[in-house]
Amino acid sequence: MNKHLLSINDLSRDEIESILTTAAKDFLELSKRDIKKVPTLRGRTVIDLFYEKSTRTSTSFELAGKRLSADVINVKAESSAVGKGESLKDTVLTLNAYNPDIIVIRHPHVGAPAFVARYTDAHVINAGDGKGGHPTQCLLDIFSLKQEYGELEGLKVAIVGDILHSRVARSNIAGFRKMGMEVTLVAPPSLLPRGVEALGADIAHGLDALADVDVVYLLRMQQERHADAGLMPSLREYIARYCVGRRHLGKGQRVLHPGPINRGVEIDAELADSPENLILQQVEAGLAVRMAIMYRIIVDAGADQAAAEGERDAAEAAEAGPEIKNIRAVG
């Protein structure tokens, strides 16, 4: 892994596979034990810096850090000095003075995690930046699909709903395609970002398109971001055309949703309570995957440093001239 996880594009397919293997083998098992804690990040400090409301992402990062034995501090914008007018830069400089090892940032503006990375020595993990991306959600979704389907190559996924406002859609289009999956975006034209075709996904309007896919990925209708922009004639009309229920699903089709769900808007109540959705498996996966990410970001950095030091030592040794050593063979 790189020093930071700012975008799903920071990871190669092999790196994704390797992180998810770590999550499956080490961290799913951990959650089923009586003692749900390992000493791996003992003494490390993780700061979760959240400028937007969040339940599952923030609890999941907090618990992931604690189960790795790190010291975890949660900073919520609404109850911090941000309310007193402190800029993001000054908040980060202040927190950086505690020498954290990882800063997890959720922010309403695209690019905030990269900005944070400029002012801290810590590893920065993007936990959602405006409409930008949500790489850890993407990884946990790929993980959930792998657990359910096994092989991802050629798997067909429809991402349905408010794609315009969705950072999850942006990360997942990229991440799913990277894993060899085929992606179709299903939404009214007004809820698709301009130029979205360039991301390599097919476009469809109307739920008929669900007949051709293996997986249905629903997005929350982000009404708080619509700001009366006139994107839909009415919510009722959207529901009539795009609310997904069990009647839209074929045999073996599974439904994912990043949460929080709006019952009766993008998902009907019956489907929300049906075992055909993998929503709670996604939450469980989220914990294991975030533990794997934090573990790997720290371990890989240590290994890179050791490799660099090793190379430097080797270069110094070469300069110093050949050294003669006797090897004692054991008989």
Partner 1 sequence: MSGSFSKTVVPAEQVGRTIVRIAHEILERNQDIGDLALVGILTRGAYLARRLASHMEEFAGQEVPVGELDISLYRDDVAARGSLTIRSKLTQPEVRGTNLPFNIDEKTIVLVDDVLFTGRTIRAAIDALFDYGRPSRIQLAVLVDRGHRELPIRPDFVGKNLPTSQDQRINVLLSEVDGADEIVLEAVQHE
Cβ nearer to partner 1, comparing 189 with 322:
322
Cβ nearer to partner 1, comparing 28 with 164:
28
Output the CA–CA distances (angstroms, integers) from residue 28 to 13, 49, 67, 116, in the order listed: 21, 25, 12, 30
Question: Tokens 């800029």, residue?
Answer: 87
Q: State both tokens at 229.
A: 């922009």
Helix and strand element counts for the chain (H, E):
11, 9
Task: Say if strands 202-204 and 215-218 run parallel, antiparallel, or are unpaired.
Answer: unpaired
Q: State both tokens at 178.
A: 């990277």
CB 197 within 8 A of CB 164: no
User: Cis peptide leading into 233, omega within 30 of 0?
Assistant: no
Q: State both tokens at 144.
A: 């959930």
Q: State both tokens at 61.
A: 């990062």
Nearest approach in angstroms of CB 37 to partner 1 is 7
Alpha helices in the chain (DSSP H): 13-22, 28-30, 56-67, 88-96, 112-118, 135-149, 167-178, 223-226, 235-242, 269-272, 279-320
Cβ nearer to partner 1, comparing 209 with 299:
299
Cβ nearer to partner 1, comparing 25 with 53:
25
Nearest approach in angstroms of CB 75 to partner 1 is 24
Nearest approach in angstroms of CB 99 to partner 1 is 14
Nearest approach in angstroms of CB 310 to partner 1 is 7
Cβ nearer to partner 1, comparing 224 with 323:
323
Cβ nearer to partner 1, comparing 139 with 279:
139
Nearest approach in angstroms of CB 4 to partner 1 is 15
Nearest approach in angstroms of CB 295 to partner 1 is 8
Closest to 216 (Cα-Cα) out of 279, 273, 167, 270: 279
Cβ nearer to partner 1, comparing 143 with 242:
143
User: Where on the phi/psi map is residue 28: left (φ > 0), alpha (ψ -120 to 50), or beta?
Assistant: alpha
Nearest approach in angstroms of CB 181 to partner 1 is 22
Residue numbers at the binding site for partner 1 (CB under 8 A): 14, 18, 21-22, 24-26, 29, 33, 35, 37-41, 295-296, 298-303, 305-307, 309-310, 322-325, 327-330
Task: Indicate the helix (H) or strand (E) that contains 298.
Answer: helix 279-320
Nearest approach in angstroms of CB 221 to partner 1 is 39
Cβ nearer to partner 1, comparing 211 with 317:
317
Distance CA 298, CA 3 (A): 8
Distance CA 294, CA 118 (A): 19
